[in-house]
Amino acid sequence: MSDVIALPQGSASSRLRTAAFAPIGDEGRAELVEARLLQAISTGAFIEGERLPSENELSQLLGVAVVTVREALGSLRHRGLIETRRGRGGGSFVSSSPGVVEEVNARRLMETPRVALADLGVLYEVIAGACAEYACLRATADELEVVHRVLVEARELPAGPWRRRITDMQLELASLSQSVRLTSEHVRIQTEFTPLLALQDIDIAQRHFSHDALLEQIEATRAGDVEAARAVVRRSIRGSVRWLGDLRSALKAQPAGGDLRATLERYRDTAVETSITGEVA
């Protein structure tokens, strides 16, 4: 068994938390606070059993009133995504099962217009491609070796741990660009896109497609091959957007009041290989 690899300090979870808790300001409605917290849970910034910041801490981080935070937490509690414990050591803790988060993300995908999904993919591709280019010019062999080893060991992890590890490594590869602004923008888009990308994890072939694309990107970066690195990023992201578009169509085709979970399970069983080719229709 290989040694446990220590991830760099301040990697994915801390970056995602920072993005999730950027101040909301004057738009501080409970719905926006709820969306931010849901985003933090969906991206794996906070995992099951982990304590969220206190109401006062969230109020200060998000720049909203405590009563607004309390209302948002109440809504998340009603949806079964968090539980509140009283007394010493109490607070709000993530309680959602993977299935609950998956359904929440699926509903978000259904509500996202196809053109908005495609546009998000374009923006993600542009930023990730730029990070990949500068990583080719600036990343060291030792840095790439750490990321490579983590990825190799993570390939057959269960979906939840795999997604968190993959998000870690996507952000680590972005940070190897050594551009603070590019990396910050990558974190922002990753925070928005990861809940949708996580839906792919119902399809093991799609997970392997995404995983192997990252390994290809590392090899291109080692070789300093900018065109190859950008091509891998482009193929991977377009393949993901195509897959998500197929799933969105399947979800929206269900009868009114249909069982979302049943549709996801059917799609899990029938996801087709052509959805991961990365070809643009």
pLDDT digits (tens, 9 = 90+) for 80-99: 888 988 878 889 998 876 67
SS3 category, 179: coil
- pLDDT average, residue stretch 264-279: 56
pLDDT in tens, 97-155: 667 788 888 989 999 999 999 999 999 999 999 999 999 999 999 999 999 999 999 99
Query: Among the listed ranges 25-29, 64-68, 117-121, which one has the minimum average pLDDT value?
Result: 25-29
SS3 category, 37: helix
- pLDDT average, residue stretch 49-68: 90
Q: What are the distances in angstroms from CA 280 to CA 92, 118, 202, 252? A: 43, 11, 22, 21
User: What is the percent of the chain where pLDDT is above 70?
Assistant: 87
pLDDT of 1 over the 60 cut: no
Angle among Cα 181, 186, 190 to the nearest 5 degrees reads 155
| 85, containing H or E segment | strand 82-85
Q: What are the distances in angstroms from CA 106 to CA 244, 248, 252? A: 10, 8, 10
pLDDT of 7 over the 70 cut: no
pLDDT of 57 over the 70 cut: yes
Give the residue, 101 or 66, on which the prediction is more confident: 66
Question: pLDDT-derived band of residue 42, with 50, 70 and 90 as boundaries?
Answer: confident
Give the residue, 115 or 33, on which the prediction is more confident: 115
Question: pLDDT-derived band of residue 272, with 50, 70 and 90 as boundaries?
Answer: very low
- Cβ(105)–Cβ(35) below 8 Å: no
Average per-residue pLDDT for the chain:
85
The CA distance from 239 to 278, in Å, is 4
Q: Among 274, 254, 276, 275, which Cα is nearest to 107's?
A: 254
- Cβ(60)–Cβ(50) below 8 Å: no
